[in-house]
Amino acid sequence: MHDGETPEAPTPDGPTLPAAEDLRAAVGAWLGYMAHELGRADNTLVAYERDLRQLLAWLERDLGRAPALADLARIDARQLRGFLASRRQAKVGSRSLARSLSGLRTFFRWLEREDVARNRAIREVARPRVGHGIPKPLSVEKAAAVVDGGMAAELDWIAARDAAVLLLLYGSGLRISEALGIARREAPTGERQVLRVVGKGGKERLVPVLPVTQAAVSRYLALCPYPLAPDGPLFLGAKGGPLSPRIVQLLMERMRGALGLPDTATPHALRHSFATHLLSAGADLRQIQELLGHASLSTTQVYTEVDRDRLLAVYDKAHPRAHPKA
């Protein structure tokens, strides 16, 4: 997108919580604890606050007034199930519901540990069953078409920016938040062939940067019309603010139409493609785990199922005994 890009990324600050003053203060203290003591990422804090806001808004409708700490201490499992049911009626999927419930449990545990309020009803609510999702990577050819899409526009700084971001997602396996969290002083150019990335939970890892990615970042820097502060974001939006993840998502939506890509072709699919293509080329699963920043190998092992399907398809097509003669 060019000058018609949507506004920059929203700030985590939102309207006043639908809660009494004591509960608002407790939520603020909890979010502060999660940010400063546990180092939770901004995106995680935004999600926690959103989950609580939804619960409190539902409670406010049920009570006819803003809920207070005493109301959270009295809420029972039946009410909590009713809240989750209302979210499901609003077309919220099981995975999002499970994440929401996990965040709410974290808040209730903190209330008890800090001796602010005590209610264990939330532990009686079963976690929504989440299906075993298989990553849907792009083919090597389709992934190459995506990352090559912006390379031809020699004088368009936004196209240069988009190409650099997409190459970081596919070439280094970054999440959108990780790519957009890179500071100008950390720009992978010149001799910098390795990038230090801060992932989920503040966990750091080192990822390699391909020469083509370095060239794309350098081209973006040469064309960017805005001054870039050393500690400020590397990637900017059309109006000079931090680039919003939504802009990258919309870019992929446009590419789906232009390149005939499936609906599963999202920015995160480029990260899936990075892992799957490495595995197909013989990379070790442990190495891929480290490159992706997965805390557990079991999270990475899901890519073996994708690769298994590919190998079985190749076997079925190529093995001389796969199709007995009629």
* Active site positions, annotated: 175, 200, 268, 271, 294, 303
Pairwise CA distance, residues 92 & 85, whole Å: 10
Closest by CA position to 248, among listed 170, 318, 319: 170
Alpha helix positions (H), the chain: 21-32, 42-63, 69-74, 77-89, 94-113, 140-148, 157-172, 176-180, 211-223, 245-259, 267-280, 285-292, 297-300, 302-318
CA angle 168, 288, 270 (to 5 degrees): 35
Q: What's the alpha-carbon Rg for the chain, to the nearest Å?
A: 23
Q: What is the dihedral of CA 22, 27, 29, 30, to 10 degrees?
A: 140
Pairwise CA distance, residues 135 & 307, whole Å: 10
DSSP state of 241: S
3-state secondary structure of 182: coil
Pairwise CA distance, residues 75 & 119, whole Å: 8
Pairwise CA distance, residues 169 & 71, whole Å: 45
* Residue found by looking up tokens 């919220």 in the block: 92
